[in-house]
Structure 1
Amino acid sequence: MSGGGATGPLLYAVAAAVLGMLQFGFNTGVINAPRSFIESFIQDNYDASPGLLFSVTVSVFAVGGMIGCPLASWLMDRQGRKNAILLNAAFGVIGAALMGFSKLATSVEMLIIGRFLIGINCGFATTASPTYVSEVSPLRLRGAFGTVNQLAVAVGLVGGQVLGIDVLLGSAEGWPWLLALALLPAGAQCLMMPFAPESPRFLLLSIRDEEKAREVLSRLRGTTEIDDEINDMHAEERAERQEKKFTIGDLVRTRALREPLIIGIVMHLSQQLGGINAVLYFSTTIFISAGLEEADARLASIGVGSVLFVMAIVSIPLMDRLGRRSLQLCGLGGMALFSVLMTVALNTYENNTTMSVFAVVFTFLYVAFFGVGPSSIPWMILSELFGQGARSAAVSVGALTNWFANFIVGLTFIPLTDLLGNYVFLPYTVLLLLFFAFTYFKLPETKNRTIEEVTALFKK
């Protein structure tokens, strides 16, 4: 096979790594359906508001994610990409086991700690998996393999929602098994990663073992003609050495870097504070409030993950054809429109039962517009707004912002629902309109522009 193709060892390495992203999707979607059973478990074993403790159980996942992101960067630089991912998978097994055995031990604390640990595991994966996949992939397949991460998230999300229906594991007896299934991707990764290669880039540039890097790269590419790629890595390293390294403090203090940093932060906030995780975490609750029976609401929730999966595929060719700015505006505008229509449907279904169906349809369309742009653009935009020297610090700030906003939405949605009832999505609508206006006036189009051209915009 000629170099640069999708060889067996390359496909194996990518599959092993993206199990971490599948884990992330699974644990985002899995908590949705069994809410009533988990609240009953909390009520039976703890003298506190079950709604509040369920909110803590949901949102502590994001606290773990905020720890996992920087931990991944630190550990990957010291232990290598492969060993860091392997250690994280073992950590995921522990978190899944704690959640699975929490009911048997009648311990709400075990459930919350397990959810926190699996959050660290997933936050780690959102940094480690894209880095590893990017570094083992040939240049011409890097974009395609990069989208595999998003597809794995969508597959995990749908899987968690399907398994949560009442005829499978969405029951008072089944929910601990449902949460314990996080053992499967973590366990599979523990078994697969020892046979996956280390990143050739890490071997060459961090360990300085060119012979080993060449051996691994030849196996990944299926050819010994790898001199060009080795030379490109050396050239990239020389360019990095010549460019000043910026810390997070430098990004804030330097005017030419501060504006793109603010843009990147707002893009990440728009992804979360537009309310998407309110739907991903609580869609079953939303559909019940729209008049559906609980079993039907769980079935409808599967559609949420399915729409995200389809849109992950649809958005791939659109990204380079229509551009980041256009897709982000389209996504935010559509989400704002359908959050209003969802609110109308939720408040009129009692007088018109057809509106229950419309509430579900409008929710699906809201999720579809999220998939158009806001789903993936915040994760890529910081890499396109910053040069090599500042990119790592900027991406770290973006990831932390994203997980923090995720935590806020998870913690506040149930109290907001208690306060606002079926008008709960209106605060998200207001924020979406503000994010739309900010994007319109501030976000430059990065399509077909080099890093130098983009950074020059902010130096004027």
Structure 2
Amino acid sequence: MLIVARLLSGLGLGSSLGTFTMYIVEITTPKARNSLGGMAQMAIIFGIMLSQLCSLGLSKPPLWRLLFAMSGLLSLVNIALLYFCVESPKWLAMNGKLAEARDSLQRLRKGTDCTDEWTQLASSAMITNTSEFAIGETNNGNISKTASVIDVLLGRTPDNLRHQLVVTVVVMASQQTSGISGVSFYSSTLFKAITSPDKETGAAASIPTLAQILTSVLATVGTLVMPMCMLLAGYFGRRTLMLWSHGGMAICCVLISVGSIVGVNGLTITMVFVYYAVFFVGAGPIPWVCPSEMTPTYAAAAICAIGGSVNYIIIFAIGLAFSPLLDALGGYTFLLFGGANLLSAFFCFIYLPETKDCQVANVAALHSVGVHSVLRAKYRGEGIEITSDHDSEK
């Protein structure tokens, strides 16, 4: 039953996480995305903290069963709350439901004049529904346009989305090759190592153990840091935060290795906590948000699905490889993660476009020209006017 539960949870997580980030991008204004864009990662880290704190008192038999029951209860609450969610106006417009789209937008912008925003949304939907790529029909006979995963992978889209695809895959992979899973695994091992073996294995072993307490503190630190990182997103660009995050994690990984090699546990533990905090500055939330911020609406779902699949495949691979690497290399293992972070920072510097406070249609049109360096002036959006997803540079 645990295996079946994991399979069902994986299906639910894989479908909902990408959908949630796209939904946030579609219903918010560019400025609101700065704070709301990190909500997916905020929810994840809060859930980890909640589960860790609950496990401190419920890890002994038979109380552990309550942890599983709590997960089911939260799912039921979530299903009930989804009833009150407003459908995405962009999705409705893309599927020819313009009247419903306008009502949905007005509900989201209650008390404000959204005429200009609606005009732009309707105009974009009209271009989408009349393009040569349009396929299928909606219930009321209007044409809808949606690209599948195969369409994106084979380049069967009206726009050249190679740049968006490559950037999405690399930043999603970089989130895990940064070592976040490895640091989480290693922190548990390290925290156990600093606990007296007698206390861990003796008859009078205490629950919660010191290792469990420190692991819970680590999750709590991530939860406390995340809101501050979301505030930083309102002042600094996505690209800048990714560079800071991967650069900071590279330094932390090197110092974790140094502390492990020379036997300075205090340095290692401190750097684990700092690493965890720096991760949420950029590498944690931004990879889930930027694909939807730089991709045309018709292909956003497909590209997010590809990126999310790559992310979870890397998690699986690191979960299998980390223990053998640690046995073979010891403290030197994190030098590999440090190098991976440096490569990720270099990639983001060259290829990751800045999407902060930008209209999705404008960013998508600017970068739908194949893989290119964003350091070139023409791809910074300076002095370029873009009016739709299919307009060229003026």
Q: TM-score, normalised by structure 1?
A: 0.64
Answer whether contact 2:247 2:341 (CA < 8 A) is retained: yes
Q: Distance in 2 between matches of 1:230 and 1:216?
A: 11
Answer whether contact 2:255 2:271 (CA < 8 A) is retained: yes
Q: Distance in 1 between matches of 2:249 and 2:357?
A: 27
One-letter amino acid matched to 1:187: L
Q: Distance in 2 between matches of 1:303 and 1:233?
A: 45
**Alignment partner, residue 430 of structure 1:** 339
Distance apart, 1:241 and its partner CA:
3.2
Answer whether contact 1:274 1:428 (CA < 8 A) is retained: yes
1:129 and 2:20 equivalent? yes
Greater shift, 270-279 or 140-149, is seen at 140-149
Q: Distance in 2 between matches of 1:447 and 1:218?
A: 24
Counterparts of residues 148-187 of structure 1 (less than 5 Å): 148-165=39-56, 168-187=57-76
Distance apart, 1:310 and its partner CA:
3.1
Answer whether contact 2:18 2:304 (CA < 8 A) is retained: no
Greater shift, 190-199 or 179-188, is seen at 190-199
Greater shift, 197-206 or 119-128, is seen at 197-206
Q: Distance in 1 between matches of 2:280 and 2:111?
A: 37
Q: Distance in 1 between matches of 2:156 and 2:178?
A: 25
Match of 2:36 among 127, 145, 151: 145
**Alignment partner, residue 285 of structure 1:** 189
Alpha-carbon spacing, 1:313–1:429, altered in 2? closer, same or farther (3 Å): same
**Alignment partner, residue 263 of structure 1:** 167
Distance apart, 1:375 and its partner CA:
0.9
Structure 1, residues 436-460: CA drift from partner, whole Å, max 9, x if none? Answer: 3333444344456641444468578
Match of 1:366 among 270, 275, 279: 275
Q: Distance in 1 between matches of 2:113 and 2:353?
A: 39
Q: Distance in 1 between matches of 2:19 and 2:354?
A: 27
Distance apart, 1:272 and its partner CA:
0.7
One-letter amino acid matched to 2:58: L
Matched pairs, number = 343
**Alignment partner, residue 230 of structure 2:** 316
Higher helix share: 1
Answer whether contact 1:290 1:346 (CA < 8 A) is retained: no
Q: Distance in 1 between matches of 2:257 and 2:61?
A: 31
Match of 1:401 among 310, 314, 327: 310
SS of the aligned residue for 2:273 comes to helix
One-letter amino acid matched to 2:60: S
Match of 2:253 among 331, 339, 347: 339
Distance apart, 1:398 and its partner CA:
1.4
Structure 1, residues 319-348: CA drift from partner, whole Å, max 9, x if none? Answer: 353322222222112112111211222344
**Alignment partner, residue 57 of structure 1:** none
* Aligned-residue identity in percent: 29
Q: Distance in 1 between matches of 2:186 and 2:278?
A: 18
Answer whether contact 2:246 2:283 (CA < 8 A) is retained: yes
Counterparts of residues 13-412 of structure 1 (less than 5 Å): 110-137=1-28, 141-165=32-56, 168-203=57-92, 205-206=94-95, 208=97, 210=99, 212-213=100-101, 216-223=104-111, 227-241=115-129, 247-251=151-155, 257-280=161-184, 283-289=187-193, 295-349=209-263, 355-388=264-297, 390-412=299-321
SS of the aligned residue for 2:83 comes to helix
Answer whether contact 1:290 1:359 (CA < 8 A) is retained: no
Distance apart, 1:270 and its partner CA:
0.8
**Alignment partner, residue 141 of structure 2:** none
Alpha-carbon spacing, 1:420–1:248, altered in 2? closer, same or farther (3 Å): same
Distance apart, 1:423 and its partner CA:
3.8
Answer whether contact 1:446 1:454 (CA < 8 A) is retained: no
Structure 1, residues 67-121: CA drift from partner, whole Å, max 9, x if none? Answer: xxxxxxxxxxxxxxxxxxxxxxxxxxxxxxxxxxxxxxxxxxx212212211211
Alpha-carbon spacing, 1:359–1:442, altered in 2? closer, same or farther (3 Å): same
One-letter amino acid matched to 1:285: T
